[in-house]
């Protein structure tokens, strides 16, 4: 799908909750600072941070007037969220799956270090473990849920394809949420009206906003990471 359509159409795949003040504060801290060219991760290791940046940009590259993920600090948000919001009980499992995904990427690329991995290898990783039909997505998530229930939330031993899909799917959702709720994207790319006009019911989105989703200040939603991490 063409990237502009993907960004305006994609929906997050699991239950939403209104963002807590701490989450909004976290998001604001990532939006107000300039693009971080000398970023030092606070949760991720140096190699994990390099992976997170490149993966985010592979999912959300610069295109036309659309900035890349790292140009609006998506990677900074994911790092700060992992450090400040993610449950302490979840962090070890999250790191473990992350390291396995990085190891798989190195195998795909044939390189020894994450710095040497090219964009094509990231795309191959996503095509192998993330790109699925709607029916396949639903079946994978059913199996993930089933495994979690049967194993009391323990992920050890989960099939690699299932755990990788679950991880990459969550990463994609978080990256897109952070991207869409960024001030630059929300006010200059998405349909933005800080003072709403009259209420109109069933309207054609193409005619109303040129097909772009509305940027709604003050109505941020966030989908918390699955308990499978």
How many residues belong to the chain? 229
Q: How far apart, in whole angstroms, are the C-alpha atoms of residue 115 and residue 107? A: 14
Q: Does residue 10 carry a pLDDT above 70? A: no
Q: How far apart, in whole angstroms, are the C-alpha atoms of residue 170 and residue 195? A: 33
Q: How many CB atoms lie within 10 A of CB 29?
A: 14
Contacts with 22 (C-beta within 8 Å, 6 or more apart), sequence order: 84, 85
- pLDDT tens for residues 101-145? 999 999 999 999 999 999 999 999 999 999 888 999 999 989 988
pTM over cut 0.75: no
Q: How far apart, in whole angstroms, are the C-alpha atoms of residue 212 and residue 206? A: 7
Structure-derived torsion over alpha carbons of residues 83, 87, 89, 91, reported in degrees to the nearest 10: -30
């Amino acid at each position: 799908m063409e990237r502009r359509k993907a960004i305006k159409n994609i929906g997050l795949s699991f239950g939403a909750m209104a963002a807590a003040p701490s989450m909004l504060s976290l998001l604001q801290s990532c939006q107000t600072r300039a693009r971080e060219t000398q970023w030092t991760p606070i949760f991720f290791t140096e190699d994990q941070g390099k992976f997170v940046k490149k993966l985010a940009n592979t999912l959300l590259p610069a295109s036309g007037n659309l900035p890349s993920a790292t140009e609006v600090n998506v990677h900074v948000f994911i790092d700060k969220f992992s450090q400040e919001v993610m449950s302490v009980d979840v962090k070890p499992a999250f790191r473990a799956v992350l390291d396995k995904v990085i190891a798989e990427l190195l195998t795909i690329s044939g390189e020894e270090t994450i710095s040497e991995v090219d964009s094509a290898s990231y795309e191959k990783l996503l095509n192998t473990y993330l790109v699925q039909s709607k029916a396949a997505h639903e079946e994978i998530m059913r199996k993930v849920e089933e495994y979690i229930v049967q194993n009391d939330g323990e992920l050890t031993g989960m099939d690699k394809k299932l755990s990788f899909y679950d991880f990459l799917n969550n990463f994609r959702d978080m990256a897109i949420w952070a991207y869409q709720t960024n001030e630059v994207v929300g006010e200059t790319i998405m349909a933005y009206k800080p003072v709403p006009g009259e209420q109109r019911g069933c309207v054609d989105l193409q005619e109303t906003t040129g097909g772009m989703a509305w940027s709604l200040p003050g109505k941020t939603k966030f989908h918390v990471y699955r308990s499978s991490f």
